[in-house]
A and B are shown apart, each in its own frame.
Chain A
Amino acid sequence: MSRTLALADDRTVWSMPLLLKKLRKYMLVVETSLQSNMAYAANFAADTAFYAVICFVLMSLWRTIYAGGQPIPDYSGVQMMWYCIITEMVYMSRCDVFGELTRAVQSGEIAYALNKPYDYLFYQFAQGIGLMLIKLAFNGAVGATMGLLLIGPIQGFSAVTLLPIGLAILGGMVLNTCLQACLGLLAFWSEDNSAYYWIYSKLVLMLGMMLPVEYFPGRLEAIVRFLPFPYITYGPARLMVAFSWERFLQTAAVQAVYIALSVLLAIAVYRKGVRQVNVNGG
């Protein structure tokens, strides 16, 4: 019953005015999410303070390491410390789409969303974007201040590159959200899907966040570059510390491919999973 209602939206013939109308609908969700989260802006203070602590610890670590010599030629001490600021900023500004979807599926709350005039996945995504933008603003302000005061500017950095770097940051966050959504939807089949998320978060952390991929031994570096994980935090951070248009295009292209694949996967998993939802009662 519910599925018919949910999928009715998908069977509609697509046209440009309709697409714009839909886009406006989800933009409104983003706006609402921004407004409601701004009302509790103080809640983000503790998260931002934690971000500052982590940045401080990592900056202290790398400052000490580089004081003894440059471990790899690709990064100077200043670049390495800015790399940490950016990777942590992208990762810690994420939204909890995984948790939201898992809770909705496990509690059965998802049944209420099936007959609403929106696509549930896109609705969750738009909600998450609002939250991520606020976190990014807080963390970005703190990270930039810490970087400029404690490290100093990156040599050769140009403000003109902020726009493409910003796009890559958003690309990384969107990719992370899409992959999280795929894992969250596994709750349709798995009673406790938290183990998948733990493994995923460690892969993100270890393969191109805590350390740039250039640090890995040769063969491992080559393998890691083919995976989606480094393009969540490493890609944008590498652009920040050593920008080139060629690197930007390559990062953006890989992000686009992985985002498209994960969106398609999330939609397929959602459609398959939602068929199993039984709505009872009135």
Chain B
Amino acid sequence: MSTAVDAIRKHARLFAAYFRFNLAAVMEYRASFLMQVFGMAINNASFIFFWKIVYLRVPAVAGYEFRDVMFLWALSAAAFGVAHVCFGNCGSLGRVIIQGELDPYLLQPKDVYFNVICSKTIVSAWGDTAYGIILYLLVYGFAPGRFALFLGFVALGGLLIASARFAAETLTFFLGNASAISRLLTEFMISFSLYPEKIFGNSVRWMMYSLAPAGFVVFVPHRIYRSLTLASLPLLLVADVVYLFLGYMLFRAGLKRYESGNLVVTRV
């Protein structure tokens, strides 16, 4: 038991160190960092204009009012942002494998999955995170309890997005190059999580709760948030744990197939 706690503590320290160093690295080019952050926030904000015009013409879309759609946008953007700020390599594993850059991680005394996924940050994802949180506060205001609930959903959604993307990238171990599958999964998840759930038919909704888990990233949280009943919360937690576990096991299975290219690289 104490070994497990010890391992968790060590990995938490590793995560904190990566976070600190990644942040320091992006802040080295402060102007570029701020430009990407604001650029991404403005990029996302333009869609508010689209929805505002739509809602000038229709009162509700599939039972969603303007505020509900903004909740989807805020949560999707913030969760996507957190996934790529904290686990920036979740969408790059395929490239890492193909270029033989996995070797340095194999030599380090830390869990390879964890070590790879959190060793990088995506600069523009800071903009997504900031946009999501600001949008939420603008639309729903600041009520500590509800805001904490929203942040909890952001954290769970971020874990799920990172884990799903990383799992798709892991297929590179088996298929040689899974970048197209990974990209498609990402587009699926993003596109499906930004529109009211009920505009889609049953087959698509089935997919949103299995292969591309947009349902667990935004729709279940939205239902919990709207009704303020926590009955679905265990379902959300179980879904997160299952996806993380399956993704981890897939990675372990794939890692056995990895062949080193003996590439000598320096990680700066």
Contact = CB atoms under 8 A, between A and B. Distances in A.
A64 interface: yes
Contacts of B180: 45-46, 49
Nearest to A62: B199
A277 interface: no
B264 interface: no
Interface stretch (A6-14, A53-61, A134-142): A53-61
Contacts of A34: none
B267 interface: no
A195 B39 CA distance: 6
Contact of B187 (A53, A68, A205, A216): A53
A5 interface: no
Contacts of A249: none
Contacts of A57: 191-192, 195
The CB with the most chain A CB atoms within 10 A, among B56, B60, B188, B199, is that of B199
Interface in A206-236: 206, 210-211, 215-217
A64 B198 contact: yes
B43 A202 contact: yes
B57 A72 contact: yes
A215 B198 contact: no
Contact of A205 (B39, B46, B57, B199): B46
A12 to B, nearest CB: 42
Instruction: Give the dominant DSSP class at A's interface.
Output: helix
B17 interface: no
A215 B62 contact: no
Contact of B46 (A45, A50, A202, A216): A202
B232 interface: no
Interface residues of A, number: 29
B191 A194 contact: no
A65 interface: yes
A217 B49 CA distance: 12
Interface in A44-94: 45-46, 49-50, 53-54, 57, 60-61, 63-65, 68-69, 71-72
A192 interface: yes
Contact of A198 (B42, B192, B196): B42
Given A53-B188, A195-B35, A198-B39, A216 B195 contact: no
Contacts of B184: 46, 49-50, 53
Contacts of B54: 65, 71, 211, 215
Contacts of A53: 184, 187-188, 191
B32 A216 contact: no
Contacts of B199: 60-61, 63-64
Nearest to A197: B39
Contacts of B53: 211, 215-216
A54 B195 contact: no
A150 to B, nearest CB: 11
A129 to B, nearest CB: 25
Contacts of B23: none
A61 B58 CA distance: 12
Contacts of A195: 35, 39
A145 to B, nearest CB: 18
Contacts of A206: 46, 49-50
Interface string B48-76: 01100110111011100000000000000
Nearest to B56: A217
Contact of B200 (A60, A202, A215): A60
B57 A61 contact: no
Given A64-B61, A210-B50, A211-B53, A192 B32 contact: yes
B10 interface: no
Interface of B: 32, 35, 39, 42-43, 46, 49-50, 53-54, 56-58, 60-62, 179-180, 183-184, 187-188, 191-192, 195-196, 198-201, 204
Given A71-B54, A206-B50, 11 more contacts: A46-B179, A46-B184, A63-B199, A65-B58, A195-B35, A199-B42, A202-B43, A205-B46, A206-B46, A211-B54, A215-B54
Interface of A: 45-46, 49-50, 53-54, 57, 60-61, 63-65, 68-69, 71-72, 192, 194-195, 198-199, 202, 205-206, 210-211, 215-217
Top 10 A-B pairs, shortest CB-CB distance: A71-B57, A46-B180, A64-B199, A202-B46, A60-B199, A57-B191, A210-B50, A198-B39, A64-B62, A50-B187
